[in-house]
Amino acid sequence: MLKKSIKIGGASGFWGDSVIATPQLLNGNDLDFIVYDYLAEITMSIMARARTKDATKGYAVDFVSSVLKLNLRQIADQNVKILSNAGGVNPEACAEAIRELIKELNLDLKVSVVLGDDLISQKNKFSELNTKEMYSDESFPAEDKIASINAYLGAFPIAEALKSGADIVITGRSVDSAVTLGACIYTFGWNEKEFDKLASGSLAGHIIECGTQSTGGNFTDWELVSKDLHQIGYPIVEVSEDGSFDCTKSKNSTGMVSFGTVAEQMLYEIGDPQAYILPDVICDFSNVKIEETDKDKVKISGAKGYPAPNQYKVCATYADGFRAGHVCSFVGIDAAKKARTYGEAIFERSKMIMRMMNIADFDETSIEIIGDNSQYSKKSSNEDNREVVLKFAAKHQDIRAVGIMLKESVGLGLATPPGLSGFVGGRPKPSPIVRLFSFLIDKDQVNVTIDNGSSKSEIKMSSSENFDLSSIQKTTAPDFDEANEKFVDVPLIKVAYGRSGDKGNKANIGIIARDPKFYPAICNFLDEKVVKDCFADFLEGSVERYFLPGSNSINFILNDVLGGGGPASLRNDPQGKAYAQILLDQMIPIPEKLLSQNIE
């Protein structure tokens, strides 16, 4: 008999999340599954380098040595199934390490592995086909520069592994939400055509895939969750057979689950909310409803789904030179001017030495004066600042160049303007720049298999109809009549929540009305031009705006705004995590009559 609902705990949002999550979730929450998301694009390249040095590595080692080793006996006692993409670029080695641990603890647990995402052996084929980057149309990287190539697999192979009797399922690269959706497909028997259910299960996975970001972490109203932050609860979703679900958090923990915390996470790092493309379904979150039903409990419903794409997204990571940088502080009168003078001198001295060695100029340099509004466009320097931090960085194809810069930043230490200070443990070292190259591949070109340890079975993914995304009727801004209104300019944060994130060199900013009555005015006045002006110093591409009336939200996409993004960027905020905070600081006109009960 199929269950009517299941409880899934989200214990990891990235490689490095706290080991406290698993024992917290196992403490009286009566879970059916715990899911772990470890992988980001940069993580794949780090794991690939680890595998190159040691064929038994290339996965999240601490998932085995810390998370499972400390909790596996309790996991077995509670009959909780574990689903994780901790396998990275070497899921078979990860599974073997888990099997050794199971044997050591004398437990009876079965481990299955989902294989097929790793396409590094086909890099020659992709090069010969002159594969183009799906966003920039750049040519395929040089083969000797490539660190990893992985397709983003979906949830159905995970469900198949569970059907084979697995207690623990390990994958390589899968979409972050796939572990949660896989648990739902396995439990409820959803098929490939139940698009709305698949979209809802994917949304449940999206809500918990970043751990405590849905329970008060990075929340706009952070002071509401600042008490005992060290005990913040990890998220739990209780999913029903019809796809609707509740979100809450682990018992006896701090933090909070509310409309605001969950709405922020729903908009985190998505693009077009009506065409959120996953391997198993194309999701439409525009009319999702988020309702507070109890303290620290919200109900989420209304996700819509469309047929899955016939292709997988593939991400390759490749080396593109080196970068280096450092931070130090300046104190006293004209602190910001002193810091900039020192930073500029570092680059001029370095280039002088580079010319002597016949080394070309830097590919890119960066000076940011933190504490002097350097993150804001159209910034006005605050000459009253008496303490700032200088962050300087550079890129070059030759590791010697960035090494020279680091050395000369020290060599100029006695020639600097007064007030230089800092807490350091020696010069930092140059690091390789890792870039992302994304493209599509037909699903029938990827062989997905399940390895149960004693046998392997191939999984055939059924073909979908070719769904026309342009057939989706786009949501529009609500009507707003400003005639006879008296307006008051207020900071956007007074009437909205915000959350931002990155995808490659793009950033997204989700803005959610605190009250539905503010939504029409926000949609009317917060347009692409306002956002473009706000980020004018960084933005090289266009701004797109999407409406989510179900949650009274807007999602903005800023193209070519992160200086290359992630480890390819020299920015202090290469992932756009602070962009929502910058936008929330902007002034916006709101009808005075709507503010009388809301603004102090």
Locate 72 and state its tokens. 């596996």
Task: Please tell me the predicted confidence (pLDDT) of residue 529.
Answer: 97
* pLDDT, tens digit, 9 for 90 and up, residues 582-592: 999 999 999 99
Q: In what order do the strands lie in the sheet with 276-277?
A: 276-277, 282-284, 304-306
Which carries the bigger pLDDT value, residue 438 or residue 3? 438
User: pLDDT grade, residue 378 (50/70/90)?
Assistant: low
Please compute, for residue 269, the number of CA atoms within 13 A of its CA located in the half-sphere on the CB side. 18
Instruction: Count the residues in the chain.
Output: 600
Whether the per-residue pLDDT at 600 is higher than 70: the answer is no
**Mean pLDDT across 177-194:** 97
Query: pLDDT tens, 512-542?
Result: 999 999 999 999 999 999 999 999 999 999 9
How confident is the model over 26-32, as a mean pLDDT? 97
Give me the pLDDT at residue 306, please.
Answer: 97
At 41 the pLDDT is 79
**Band of pLDDT at residue 599, cut at 50, 70 and 90:** very low
Q: Report the phi/psi class of residue 378: left, alpha or beta, with left for phi > 0 and alpha for psi in -120 to 50.
A: left
Contact call for residues 146 and 120 (beta carbons, < 8 A): yes
Mean pLDDT of the chain, nearest integer: 94
pLDDT digit string, tens, across residues 130-141: 999 999 899 999
Whether residue 382 has pLDDT greater than 70: no
Q: What gap in Å lies between CA 278 and CA 177, rounded to an integer?
A: 9
β-pairing verdict for 33-36 and 81-84: parallel
Judged against a pLDDT cut of 50, whether residue 310 lies above it is answered with yes
With 0-12 / 13-18 / 19 or more C-beta atoms within 10 angstroms meaning exposed / middle / buried, residue 21 is buried
Q: Residues 214-225: what's their mean pLDDT?
A: 97
DSSP tag of 270: -
% of the chain residues with pLDDT over 70: 97
- Antiparallel, parallel or unpaired: β 448-451 and 297-301: unpaired
Record the pTM. 0.95
- Partners of 66 in the beta sheet? none
- Cα torsion 102, 105, 109, 113 to 10°: value is -10
Residue 11 has pLDDT above 60, yes or no: yes
Share of the chain above pLDDT 90, in %: 88
Q: pLDDT digit string (tens) for 532-584?
A: 999 999 999 999 999 999 999 999 999 999 999 888 899 999 999 999 999 99
Question: What per-residue confidence (pLDDT) applies to 3?
Answer: 78
Cα 206 from Cα 298, distance rounded (Å): 15
Answer whether residue 2 shows pLDDT above 90.
no
Residue 425 has pLDDT above 90, yes or no: no
Cβ neighbours around 227 below 10 Å, total: 9
Flag whether pLDDT at 1 surpasses 50.
no
Predicted confidence (pLDDT) at residue 216 exceeds the cutoff of 70: yes
pLDDT digits (tens, 9 = 90+) for 270-296: 999 999 999 999 999 999 999 999 999
Q: What is the pLDDT of residues 439-486, one digit of tens each?
A: 999 999 999 999 998 889 998 877 667 899 999 999 999 999 888 889
pLDDT of 377 reads 63
State the CATH architecture for 324-432: 2-Layer Sandwich (3.30)
* Cβ neighbours, 10 Å, residue 381: 15
Amino acid at 275: A
Residue 470 is encoded by which pair of tokens?
């342009």
3-state SS class at 483: coil
Residue type at 572?
A: N
Q: How far lies 141's CA from each of 211, 565, 568, in Å?
A: 34, 17, 15
* Segment 351-359 long-range contacts (CB within 8 Å, at least 24 positions apart): 353/404, 353/408, 354/401, 354/404, 357/400, 359/396, 359/398, 359/400, 359/401, 359/404
- Asked if residue 262 has pLDDT above 60, the reply is yes
Q: Would the pLDDT of 247 be above 90? A: yes
pLDDT at 380: 56
What pLDDT band is residue 597 in, cutting at 50, 70 and 90? low
Predicted pLDDT at 486: 92
Retrieve residue 146's tokens: 């490539």
Predicted pLDDT of residue 126: 97
